[in-house]
Amino acid sequence: MTPIISEIGRAFGFALLQAAGLLAVAPLLKTTIKKMKARLQNRQGPPLMQGYYDLAKLLRKEPVRSDVASWVFVAGPRVYFAAAVSATTLVPVLIDAAPLEMAGGILLLVGTLALGRFMLATAALDTGSAFGGMGASRDMTIAALAEPALMLGLFTSALAAGSLNLGSLVRTTLQGGVTFHPSDFLAFAGLFIIVIAETGRIPVDNPATHLELTMIHEAMILEYAGPDLALVEWASAVKELLYLTLLVDLFVPAGIATSLAPLAIVVALLAWAGKVLVLAMAVTVTESTNAKLRLFRVPELVSISLGLAFLALAIRFL
Amino acid sequence: MLGVLAAGTMIERWAWWSVRRVATWGCGGELSSRTEYTATAFSKPLTMIFRAIYRPTRQVETLAEVSPYFTQEVRYRSEIEPTFERYVYGPLLRGVLRVANGMKVLQAGSLHAYLAYVLVLGVLLLVWLGGTK
C-alpha cells in the first residue's frame, strides 16, 4: 500500500514541477518568436521579458465582463487554462517519462486540449456579441478539420512505437535510435502543419492582428480583459510550447534524460531548449514568408497534412 | 485537471480585483437576441467547406418600392440538401419497408395455414431430433 501511495505522490510532485516549469517558460517562447520575427523584418522587437510584463500587466487590471454574461463566460478561460496545465503533465519533457503517464496517453492529451477549446468557444458565444460567435465558429471549424489530421499523425508515430502512451513511445523511439524512416519525415511535415493551425500561426490565423474581421482565435477572446485575458494568453503560450515539445518527443527524442542524474537532466534541458528553439525558428520563418490564407483555403492546407499523414501511415505498413 | 480548477478557485478567493460589469460592445449598434450568432451562422463555414455533401442553396430577395437603394424588406432563404437522409437512410428505409411488406403475406395469412405450418414444423422437428438418437 505505502509504495503505491509514495509512487503516486512522487508522480504528482513531478507533475507539479513540470507544469510549473512549462508555465514559467511558455511566455518566453512566445516573445522569442515575436523577437525573431521582428529581426527578420529588420525591427528591434520586444525585449525577451515582454511576455512576463504583459501577463503581469493583465493580471493587475480589473476584469471587465458583459452584463449579460453568465458563469460560462467566467468558466471559459479557467477551464482552458486548467486543460492546458493538465495537458503538460501528459507529455515527457526532460525525462523519458510523462509525470502522469499512467493516467493516459495521446487520446487523453488531445481530448483535454479539445475540452479547453470547446469551453472557450462556448464562452465566446455567451456575451451575445457577433465577433465572439464569429471567432468561435471559425475556431471550431478549423479544430474540426485539424483534429483528425492531428490524430492521424500521432497514430502514425504511435504505430511505430506500438503504444499510445507518450512516455513509452519516447522510450521505444530512444531505444530504436534514429532510423530515418521515410514515414517519420512525412508524419513530421503533416504534424508541423497541424501545429501551425492549432497554435493560430500565420498561414492559418494571425496572432498579431487587430482587424476583427480577419481574426479567428483573437475574435473568440475579444471580450476578455484583465486576469481573464491573462489566463487565455498564458494557456495559449503553454499550448504552443506543448505542441513543439510533442514534435520534439515524437521525432527527435535524442538527448532526453533516461535517469535522474543531475548531469543528464542538465544535458536534457539544453537539448530540449535547443530543439524547441529550432522548431520555433521554423515557425517564425513560415510565418514571415507566408501570407495568411483565406479561411476557405485552410481546408486545402489541412488536407495536405491529412494526405501526408495517410502516406506516412501507408509507408509504415510497407 | 479538476485539481487545477479547484486550486484556481481557492486562489481566486483572495483575488485583488473587482469585476466591472458593462454592456457588450456592439460597434455602436444595439445588441439584442436577434443579433446573436445563430446555429446556422455558426455551422456556415463547415457547410461551405463540405459544399459537395451539403449542397447549400441560398436565396436573397430584396423588395423595394421607390428605388433599389431604399429597401423595404429583405427575404432570406437558405437550405441544405439532406444528403444522408436522401441517399443513405432513405433507400435503407424503403428497402426495409419493402421486405416487411413482402413478409406481411406470411404474417397476416389465414389461421388454417398457420396450423398447417405448426404441424409441418412439428413433424420436421421430430424427424430431425429423432434422427440424432
Q: Looking at the domain assignment, is residue B127 inside a domain? A: yes
- In chain B, residues with a C-beta closer than 8 Å to the C-beta of A88 are none
Q: Looking at the domain assignment, is residue B64 inside a domain? A: yes
> How does pLDDT run across A44-57, given as a tens digit for each residue?
989 999 999 999 99
Q: Looking at the domain assignment, is residue B119 inside a domain? A: yes
Q: Where residue B2 falls among pLDDT bands split at 50, 70, 90?
A: low
B9 → chain A, closest CA residue: A78
Using CA atoms in the order B42, B48, B50, B52, what is the torsion angle rounded to 10 degrees? 140
Specify whether B67 is located in the same domain as B100.
no
pLDDT score recorded for residue A39: 92
Which residue in the set B15, B24, B46 is minimally distant from A66, CB to CB? B24
What percent of chain A lies above the pLDDT cut of 70?
Answer: 99
Q: Looking at the domain assignment, is residue B10 inside a domain? A: no
- Give a three-class secondary structure readout of B1-69: CHHHHHHHHHHHHCCCCCCEEECCCCCCCCCCHHHCCCHHHHCHHHHHHCHHHHCCEEEEEEEECCCCC
- In chain A, residues with a C-beta closer than 8 Å to the C-beta of B23 are 66-68
Closest CA to B8 of A132, A86, A124, A54: A86
Q: Where residue A127 falls among pLDDT bands split at 50, 70, 90?
A: confident
Partner B contacted by A118 (CB < 8 A) = no
- In chain A, residues with a C-beta closer than 8 Å to the C-beta of B18 are 62
Average pLDDT over residues A161-172: 85
Specify whether B50 is located in the same domain as B69.
yes
pLDDT score recorded for residue A132: 87
Mutation site for B-interface testing, chosen from A66, A125, A220, A300 by largest number of B Cβ within 10 Å = A66
Specify whether B63 is located in the same domain as B91.
no
Distance separating alpha carbons of residues A79 and A301, to the nearest angstrom = 29
Residue contacts between A and B (CB atoms, under 8 Å): 91
Q: Please identify which residue in the block is written with the cell numbers 488536407.
A: A303
Count of domains in chain B? 2
The single-letter code of the amino acid at B69 is Y
CB contact under 8 A, A226 and B49: no
Distance separating alpha carbons of residues A242 and A165, to the nearest angstrom = 16
Specify whether B72 is located in the same domain as B50.
yes
Closest CA to A154 of A187, A112, A180, A199: A187
CB contact under 8 A, B22 and A130: no
Q: Looking at the domain assignment, is residue B18 inside a domain? A: no
What percent of chain B lies above the pLDDT cut of 70?
Answer: 86
What residue numbers bound the domain in which B98 lies? 82-133
- In chain A, residues with a C-beta closer than 8 Å to the C-beta of B36 are 125, 128, 130, 133
Say if residue B16's pLDDT is above 60.
yes
B50 → chain A, closest CA residue: A299
> How does pLDDT run across B50-93, given as a tens digit for each residue?
888 888 888 888 888 888 788 888 888 888 888 888 888 889 99
Average pLDDT over residues B14-18: 66
Distance separating alpha carbons of residues B2 and A139, to the nearest angstrom = 25
Say if residue A1's pLDDT is above 60.
no
Average pLDDT over residues A214-227: 86
Specify whether B69 is located in the same domain as B92.
no
DSSP class of residue B86?
Answer: I
Contact (Cβ atoms closer than 8 angstroms) between residue A103 and residue A86: no
Contact (Cβ atoms closer than 8 angstroms) between residue A43 and residue A49: no
Handedness of CA B14, B16, B22, B24 (dihedral sign): negative
Domain boundaries along the sequence of chain A: 15-317
ipTM, interface predicted TM-score of the complex: 0.77
CB contact under 8 A, B5 and A61: no
CB contact under 8 A, B33 and A296: no
